[in-house]
Each structure stands twice: as structure tokens, then as C-alpha cells.
Structure 1
Amino acid sequence: MPRFPNGWQRLLGALLACASQLAPAREALPIEQLSLPPGFHVEVLSDQVPGARGMALGPKGTLFVGSRAQGNVYAITLDPSRAYAAKIRTIASGLNMPVGVAIRNGTLYISAVSRIVKLEDIENHLDNPGKPATVYDKLPSESHHGWRYIAFGPDQRLYVGVGAPCDACKRDENRYAMIGSMKADGTDWRIVARGVRNTVGFDWQPGTNALWFTDNGRDSLGDDIPDDELNRLTSHGEHFGFPYCHAGDIADSAFGREKACSAFTPPKAKLGAHVAALGMRFYLGKQFPEAYRGSIFIAEHGSWNRSSKVGYRVVRVALDAKGNVAKQEVFAQGWLGADESVWGRPVDLLTLPDGSLLISDDYAGAIYRITYRKP
């Protein structure tokens, strides 16, 4: 090894120590513990996204990510290989649980509990985004289930999930426990679905444009009931049971005598009790094998008060030619250890143009990228 004067040796040592600290932190997460089907591979796009929740992709390829307690919205510039985050910016801060992000015509829309705000022409102003402007400010202000998933539908309207402000209660069904939609300018608010306890993920089926969504089941009925739900909307204003009925066939202990379960639309699939099914997306890419195309991927955030933990994984729901659920299977797991230790909690999913699949993780503050190569 070359010899340097003492001063240079100290400087070199300091530089090497600094380089070690600046080495990509994404290598620190134990992704080798994650298991996927043969041919699938996972890498960490970044683990520098605190509280990563909802995701949206801009037309120029910028990945936008919301958060919850952190109050931040991030803009991630991807390396051309899409294998890692080349730059991460905080483009909004101090917002009230800005979980949801959606983009239309270059404008980024952000949920902030009682408000929907926007940043216009955002991809041309990432270094100077300005202050978010309010689009709509008449949503409920309660923080319980107040974090909102948002997305633009095929009709170019902005859809907003509005959770119940409780575990189980009876409140104005035109204001709580529902999905609504509005025009991009915040006008023409409409009710889309009622009786939805808390959806934090929805998407539209390719070809049919049918709205599908996850819904979290209530607590305090035991470890094994009620299931979280996967639902499909067939008509606007349809009622999915909350607070009277859960998972299609379980009468609520307090409100179930008021209305029978037969009065409501049952779920298309039961997902398991307390798994905390959040983000869901139809897989639209072509990188994965043919059998995966058109499937629904669901992020299970994981239980918080069950006697033994469940969830903490991503599942795949396959549909048949008629749009009915054909099967459910685990796609990615390993964030929950055999000893019930937890190092990650999946939240949302997003397909990149190359067909790879992104998963956000608010517990690890990470974004994962899943790719496929034929074994």
C-alpha cells in the first residue's frame, strides 16, 4: 500500500470513513429474508423515504410518495436503470397526514385529511415547488381513519376514500365511511360508494373500468373475524355494509340488528382478519409472466393488536375471464419473522413502465422494486 505523509494519512482515513457512511443505505435492509415465486427478484430502490405511503408516477418519470405522521411529500428522481433513487426531494412538508398522491396533466394532488391540495407543473419545479394550493376543503377533519387514499379514475375525476371516524359507529353515511369523487378543480362532489369502513387502496380494472377497492374490517370481534375485504363497485351509491354488516355475512354486535347483511353488497373476496389490506393495483405491465397480467396485487400492512401477528406481505388475487376471483396466493413475504419480529410493512404498489412493481413501506421508510427474469 502506498505510504503518505501523516497529514495525508489522516485525511485519507477521514475520507474513507465518510465514504463508508455515504455508502448506499439501501444495502442495510435484510431483503434476503423476502421470499417470492421463482424468477422474481427484489431490490431496494431507496430506504431514505420516511413514512413512505401512497405513490404516483409523473409523466416525466418522477415518483411521488406521500407519508403519514411525517407530514411530507417526496419526489424521487429515478436512475435511468430504475434500479435506485438518484435524488430524493421533499417537495411539501407540514401537511396533515398527506398519505395520498395523484397526478393529472402535470399537477400533483395531495390528500391532507380535510383538504385536497395541489402543486401545479410539479416536475418542472421540483427544486422550487411553491406552497400547495387548496383544491377542496370540506372533507371531515377527524384524524381517526383520516388519512386518505386518492386516485384519478378513467373518467378523469379524483376519487377520495373517507374512512369512519371510529372502530365501529353510525355516522352520516353521506359524509363518512364512503368513497367520493370530484372534478379536478374540486367541484361537483359525488358519492361513489357507501358502507366502506376504511379503504386505503383502489384501482380500476383494465377493459371494464370497474372500480375495485380494499376495505379494513373492524376490531374488537376477536382474532379471526371479520375479514378485510376486496370489493367491486357495480353502481354508484352502492352500499357495502358498514357499520351493520362486515365481510358480507357477519352482523355487527352493536348495529347488526338494524339491517340484515342481505341488504348490502358482499365482498368479491375475503382477505383475512386484521391483515390490514391497504394498497391494491391491477398489474398492467408485461415483464411478469402472462399468468400475472391483470392480477390484483394487495399490500397487507399487518395486524396491530391481534394476539399473533398476520399480514406484513403482498398477495396476488387472480381473476377469471368473467372477472370473478379465481384464487388468492402469497406473492411476497418475509417482513414478519417467525418470532413475530417486524422489519417492514407494505403499504402501496405501483407498476413502472418497464413492468417492474414498486412497493412502499412506511415502517422501513423504503421503496422496493420487484423484477422478473425467467429462471
Structure 2
Amino acid sequence: MRIPLLMAVLACAVLVAPALAAAQDGLLTGKQAFGGWRQDKPGVRRLIRPQDLPKPDPAQSSVNAADAAARPKEAVPLLPPGFSAKLIASGIAGPRVVRVAPNGDLFVSDSRRDRVLVYRLGEDGGKAQRSVFADGLNQPYGIAFYPADKPQWVYVANSDSVVRFPYRDGEMKASGEPEMIIPDIPSNHHWTRDILFSPDGRTLYLSVGSGSNVAEGMADRPQGGLDKWLASAAPGAAWGSEQGRAEVRAYDPDGRNGRVFATGLRNCSGMTVQPATGELWCVVNERDGLGDNVPFEYATTVKEGAFYGWPWYYLGDHEDPRHVGERPDLAGKLTMPDVLMQAHSAPLNIAFYTGGNFPADYKGDAFVALHGSWNRGKRTGYKVVRLRFKDGKPTGEYEDFMTGFVVSDARVWGRPVGVAVAKDGSLIVSEDSNGTLWQVTYKQGAQ
């Protein structure tokens, strides 16, 4: 009996060893990567692959929204060795997207107060100067400067429109009234509209999230029938109450010649351009109601004409059980995203690191702000993660960078939203639970 027992022990050791090695090396894979906030800390790495996707289980789906807690006295986010976080602003009602003007000013969308703020960082650690650039907006979110090098305009994406303000370098208050660029954007449910210009400045990208979780209320077939719809619509485009939604759209800088760029992106809340390639990237909040770990959130290049699945499929040919058999014509036609993240993490913004303050191996990687889960039994998200790249290509790994915002299983004091690289190479992070802005810097030799 000893030989079979020994063989069984050896077999178990063979199975367990890779898992232990992964855990010791800081890399979590497969089911190990599906933990909650208690496992989060700077340096923990996750690699989630398409084959790790569990089967959907709507009965397992949770409602677990976090209660907002006051920031504990002297609390600061946790960071890797050598990094430190400085509080540069507080008391903001709802800080969301942060964008950096060419002169270094920080433009921040204060969505709950319907305004855009400007912060000018003080020299030698002095207090930041603040101004209201524009108010009277409608849930402003995305901000873009045009032209990029010497901007004459600041574009702002409201929930229902895109407007622009005249701008001259260093202005901290808009000198003129807003000019309407794109009107009549559908605005219910997902309201966060991000905007971005292509590297050559010829194209304005606009993300428009879905009007529901998974096209509830959208008729089974478009008016006039599916064949008629397919003859004129972009591949994977939705109709009815979801027409023009779950898309990235493209326009000329003056708002003309609007067209569909990509479809099936349930809620592309944050966009950026990868400097090394010029490719458009976005981070996507996937659907709810299919279980704690289904489907994965993701960051991805956005390819023109591509379809990413919503509402009929997710992560390839995984058919949503609420839309079985409705679009067999789309099977096999989905574009797979590049980097998969834990389900329900709620990624809201992405920025590639281009500065010179952080260690050299950070250059070319990307930071993503995870706003945090509500549709998951074990809370996850509520942190900033680092997407790892090699030779300009994503490795699929992502690493906890900025954590410590969760107080307990029920309460959190910080929900990261915006990430941006400041002119001095520091990383700026906004969070909208306590309404704060943080500046992350690195000091060689600091521990």
C-alpha cells in the first residue's frame, strides 16, 4: 500500500508545485487570480486567460455595493517600495477624468457638480492652485486638447453632447461660451463619455456606453427585419433603444462625418493612444448578472470595424444565456480583447506611462484605475493596476500598483477613476468616494 500512497503524494506535489511557485513569485493564475480585496497588495500579479473563464451562473450573482467611509486620518494609498503618494486636492464632489494640458495644468472633470476644474501644482511641494475652468455642464467626463501641441480648444464630453471652449496656453478659466460639436448623444444608464484625438489630429473618437446591462428592452429584431438592418449597419451594431450605443464612434474635429468605429463594447469608459504604436486603447466594463467571475473585464486595442461581443456574446463565442440563438451570424466574428481582468473590477481609465520619474521598466506600461465591484460576493477592484508590456505588446499580466482604499468587507474610502501622467513624470490619480487627487512619485533608493 505504501507505493500507491507514495505515488499519490507525488502526484499531488506535481499539481500543487506550480500553484505554490506562482504564489511565491507573486503571479496568480487561473482560479487563484479570482480573489478579493484582502489578497491585493502592491506587486501582486495576475494573468487571466480566456480558458480560465468559468461557466455563467446567474444564481450566483451578488448585489454587494460598498458603503462609502471617510478617509481614515493620515491614510494614504499603498504603493511599491520607493514610491510615495501625496494628497494634492480634496473636497471635490465627483472627480473623474484627469487630463494634462501641454503646460502641465491638470484638468479634472467634476461630474457631480457639472463643471471642469483646473489644478496647477505648486513649486517645491507648495499647495496646488485651483480654478473652475467651466461650469453649467451636464455630467462632464472626457476632456481633450486640440491641437495637441498648441491647443486652441478644450473639448469636453457631457453625457449627452460634446462641446468645446476656446483655449490659450495657461488659461485656467474658459474665455468664451461652449460651442456645440456633437449633439444628441443618448445619455441614460451608462453616462460616461470619453473623447480622444488620433495622433495625427484628424479624428475625434467618442465612446458611448450601453443603455442597459445586456440590451434589456431592445426588440429581438430591428424594425424592417435583420436582413435590412445588416445591409446598412456596422457589424454587431445594436438597434432600437441601444442604437448608437456600446460603440466607439469617430468624427472630424468639427463634429462632422460621424461614423461607427467599433461595436460591441458594453461600456468603454476610458480611452488612450499607445505612444509606441499609435493604436487606440480602451478599458471596458463588461456585463453583470452572470456570476462572481463571469465575464472578465478587459483592456484592449480598438480596431476599426471590429465587434467585441455585446450583447450577444462575450470573450469570443461565449453566448450570453439571455440571448441564446439570436445572432448566429456573428459567431466567429468577434475580436478578442488583449488584457483580461477580474470580473466586476470596473475599469474606468487608462494611461500609458511616458514619463521619466518612475524606474525605466515602467516606460511603455499602462496604468488602469479600477473603480471597484458591486456585483461580486468578494469585493474586488478599488485600486490602480499596472498592465505589463514587452516590446510594445501586452503580456496579459497586470500588477497591483496602488491599493489600500478598502476599509473592510463592507466599506471603502477610495474609488479610483482617473489616471494621468503629469509633465514631471509623476502619476496623478483621482478617486470619487472622498473626492481626492493624489500625486505618485518615485525616489531612487527610498524604501
Taking structure 1 as the reference length, the TM-score comes to: 0.86
Q: By how many angstroms is 1:92 displaced?
A: 2.1
- Describe the SS at the equivalent of 2:128: strand
Q: 1:188 aligns with which of 236, 243, 257?
A: 257
Q: Aligned equivalents of 2:170 and 2:162: distance in 1?
A: 21
Tell me the residue number matched to 2:427. Answer: 357
Structure 2 CA distance for partners of 1:30 and 1:226, relative to 1, 3 Å: farther
Residue 184 of structure 2 corresponds to residue 114 of structure 1: no
Q: 2:109 aligns with which of 66, 80, 85?
A: 66
- Describe the SS at the equivalent of 1:238: coil
Q: Any conservation in 1 of the 2:166–2:176 contact (CA below 8 Å)? A: no
- Describe the SS at the equivalent of 2:361: helix
Q: Aligned equivalents of 2:162 and 2:153: distance in 1?
A: 12
Q: By how many angstroms is 1:108 displaced?
A: 0.9
Q: Aligned equivalents of 2:366 and 2:317: distance in 1?
A: 23
Q: By how many angstroms is 1:71 displaced?
A: 1.1
Q: Any conservation in 2 of the 1:178–1:195 contact (CA below 8 Å)? A: yes
Tell me the residue number matched to 2:307. Answer: 239
Q: Aligned equivalents of 2:169 and 2:74: distance in 1?
A: 31
Q: Any conservation in 1 of the 2:163–2:181 contact (CA below 8 Å)? A: yes
1:184-214 deviation per Cα after TM superposition (whole angstroms, max 9, x unaligned)? 2111222221111001112111221111111
1:64-102 deviation per Cα after TM superposition (whole angstroms, max 9, x unaligned)? 111323211111122134x46532122222321101111
Q: Aligned equivalents of 1:361 and 1:31: distance in 2?
A: 16
Q: Aligned equivalents of 2:173 and 2:274: distance in 1?
A: 35
Number of residue pairs matched by the alignment? 345
Residue 200 of structure 2 corresponds to residue 155 of structure 1: yes
1:232-266 deviation per Cα after TM superposition (whole angstroms, max 9, x unaligned)? 134x1111111111233532122243236532011
Structure 2 CA distance for partners of 1:85 and 1:279, relative to 1, 3 Å: farther
Q: Any conservation in 1 of the 2:107–2:116 contact (CA below 8 Å)? A: yes
Tell me the residue number matched to 2:282. Answer: 213
Q: Aligned equivalents of 1:255 and 1:93: distance in 2?
A: 42
- Describe the SS at the equivalent of 2:388: strand
Q: For residue 82 of structure 2, what is the amino acid of its counterpart? A: G
Q: For residue 206 of structure 1, what is the amino acid of its counterpart? A: P
Q: Any conservation in 2 of the 1:55–1:64 contact (CA below 8 Å)? A: yes
Structure 2 CA distance for partners of 1:369 and 1:31, relative to 1, 3 Å: farther
Q: 1:297 aligns with which of 346, 367, 389?
A: 367
- Describe the SS at the equivalent of 1:291: helix
- Describe the SS at the equivalent of 1:200: strand
Tell me the residue number matched to 2:191. Answer: 146
Q: How does 1:89-100 map to 2 (within 5 A)?
A: 89-100=131-142
Tell me the residue number matched to 2:183. Answer: 137
Q: Any conservation in 1 of the 2:414–2:431 contact (CA below 8 Å)? A: yes
Q: Any conservation in 2 of the 1:76–1:85 contact (CA below 8 Å)? A: no
Q: For residue 109 of structure 2, what is the amino acid of its counterpart? A: G
- Describe the SS at the equivalent of 2:110: coil
Q: Any conservation in 2 of the 1:229–1:247 contact (CA below 8 Å)? A: no
Q: Aligned equivalents of 2:373 and 2:278: distance in 1?
A: 31
Q: For residue 355 of structure 1, what is the amino acid of its counterpart? A: G
Q: Any conservation in 2 of the 1:31–1:43 contact (CA below 8 Å)? A: no
Tell me the residue number matched to 1:167. Answer: 213
- Describe the SS at the equivalent of 1:315: strand
Q: For residue 86 of structure 1, what is the amino acid of its counterpart? A: A
Tell me the residue number matched to 1:287. Answer: 357
Q: Aligned equivalents of 1:72 and 1:315: distance in 2?
A: 28
Q: For residue 340 of structure 2, what is the amino acid of its counterpart? A: K
Tell me the residue number matched to 2:98. Answer: 55
Q: Aligned equivalents of 2:110 and 2:161: distance in 1?
A: 15
Q: For residue 100 of structure 1, what is the amino acid of its counterpart? A: G
Q: By how many angstroms is 1:129 displaced?
A: 3.4
Q: Any conservation in 1 of the 2:250–2:259 contact (CA below 8 Å)? A: yes
- Describe the SS at the equivalent of 2:113: coil
Q: Aligned equivalents of 1:200 and 1:168: distance in 2?
A: 16
1:111-164 deviation per Cα after TM superposition (whole angstroms, max 9, x unaligned)? 112211111025565346343221121422x32112201122213122111011
Q: Any conservation in 2 of the 1:174–1:191 contact (CA below 8 Å)? A: no
- Describe the SS at the equivalent of 2:332: helix
Structure 2 CA distance for partners of 1:230 and 1:50, relative to 1, 3 Å: same
Q: Any conservation in 1 of the 2:348–2:369 contact (CA below 8 Å)? A: yes
Q: Aligned equivalents of 2:394 and 2:331: distance in 1?
A: 21
Structure 2 CA distance for partners of 1:163 and 1:295, relative to 1, 3 Å: same
Q: Any conservation in 1 of the 2:166–2:174 contact (CA below 8 Å)? A: no
Q: Aligned equivalents of 2:243 and 2:214: distance in 1?
A: 16
Q: 1:126 aligns with which of 169, 172, 187?
A: 172
Q: By how many angstroms is 1:330 displaced?
A: 0.4
* Higher relative contact order structure (alpha carbons within 8 Å, sequence separation ≥ 6): 2
Provide the alpha-carbon RMSD of the alignment: 2.1
Structure 2 CA distance for partners of 1:350 and 1:323, relative to 1, 3 Å: same
Q: By how many angstroms is 1:34 displaced?
A: 2.0
Q: Aligned equivalents of 2:339 and 2:348: distance in 1?
A: 14
Q: Aligned equivalents of 1:67 and 1:143: distance in 2?
A: 19
- Describe the SS at the equivalent of 1:69: helix
Which consecutive segments of 4 or more residues in structure 1 shift more than 4 A? 28-31, 122-125
